[in-house]
Amino acid sequence: MIEIQNITKKFEDITALNAVSARIEEGQVFGLIGTNGAGKSTLMRTICGIYEPDDGQILIDGCLVYENPAAKSKLFYISDDQYFFSGTCLDMVRYYKTYYPAFDTERFRSLMGTLKLSPDRKVNTFSKGMKKQLSVMLGICSGAKYLLCDETFDGLDPVIRQAIKRLFIKELAEHSLTPIIASHNLRELEDICDHVGLLHNGGILLSKDLADMKLGIFKLQCVLQADAQLEEIRQAFPILQLARRGSLLTLTLRGNSADITALQAKLQPVFWELLPLTLEEIFISETEVQGYDFKALTN
């Protein structure tokens, strides 16, 4: 388990992470989502022990990570722009094998074959997407327990993306690999993540199971009999978003579906439809609550 406890990281005058706390359990795919500049990469680097936090601590299976090789050997970090030495893929394997003795070279060859990449090919002849694939292969075969992927799906074609997602799930099942995926592309994470941490302006807004998150937040489209009924809804559930088009109201509510259905029975609205939210909508709603003004960006 990775425990992030009140991590603060500043770069001169900029506070990249501000008292961030989260917990990443083993055996799940953790999605770290956030706006640009929210601090996702900083948090990933801090988890890996690249950055030393100014405050707080990060524990990997109960051990501090910074300058702790035992804890760091359980992590494999794939940055958004991974560095490769000049040489072939196998040269990179040799490098990682020095630090991860449990590196499975045979499996690496096999996976590379599956993805139709030649292990003997020079890395600098690879495209951006191929380099991403290579880094994921290296991470999976390293034998590390936690695989930290920063914007890893960027630049991958849909087929490879799905293949890698399947690979993650397979590794999770067979080797207890815990992928931690940082991305701003919520659709990519929606179908793979079990747990999501939402990072905004250097702080974690929420960290929940995706299923719970989807259960606890809904989009309601309704036409009420009277405007006063809106006040009743407001009193019953926290409204994250409200949009009005004529008499049609679109609300994003926090609550459970049973309570909302009970309210429908009570109010007897003209029209009432409860819709599940996509992860993107949840993300937008939560960040807007925290003052992230999307409308201002688009106007």
**Residues engaged in binding other proteins (CB under 8 A):** 11, 45, 48-52, 67, 69-77, 79, 81-83, 85, 91, 94-95, 98-102, 104, 143-145, 175-176
Closer of 95 and 292 to other proteins (Cβ):
95
The distance of closest approach from Cβ of residue 50 to other proteins in the complex, given in angstroms and rounded to an integer, is 4
Least Å distance, CB 199 to other proteins, is 18
Which residue, 175 or 254, is less far from other proteins as judged by CB? Answer: 175
Q: Which residues contact 139 (CB under 8 A, 6 or more apart)?
A: 76, 78, 147, 149
Report the nearest approach of other proteins to the CB of residue 242 (Å): 42
For strands 248-254 and 217-223, give the pairing: antiparallel
Measured from the CB atom, the residue of 100 and 153 that comes closer to other proteins is 100
Region of residue 168 (left: phi > 0; alpha: psi -120 to 50; beta: else): alpha
**Is 257 within 8 Å of 220 (Cβ atoms)?**
no
**Min dist. Cβ of residue 226 to other proteins (A):** 57
Q: Which of residues 50 and 289 has its CB atom nearest to other proteins in the complex?
A: 50
Q: Which is nearer to other proteins, 50 or 163 (CB)?
A: 50
Nearer to other proteins, 11 or 271 (CB): 11
**Phi, psi values for residue 89, rounded to 5°:** -60, -35
Q: Which long-range contacts (CB under 8 A, 24 or more apart) does 201-205 make?
A: 201/18, 201/35, 201/38, 201/39, 201/290, 201/292, 202/15, 202/16, 202/17, 202/18, 202/20, 202/38, 202/39, 203/17, 203/18, 203/19, 203/20, 204/20, 204/21, 204/22, 205/286, 205/287, 205/290
Residue reference for tokens 């990449």: 117
Q: Which residue is it, tokens 């920063």? A: 150
Smallest gap from residue 99 Cβ to other proteins (A): 5
Least CB distance to other proteins at residue 21 (A): 22
Smallest distance from the beta carbon of 48 to other proteins, in angstroms? Answer: 4
Nearer to other proteins, 83 or 106 (CB): 83
How do strand 146-150 and strand 63-64 relate by DSSP bridges?
unpaired
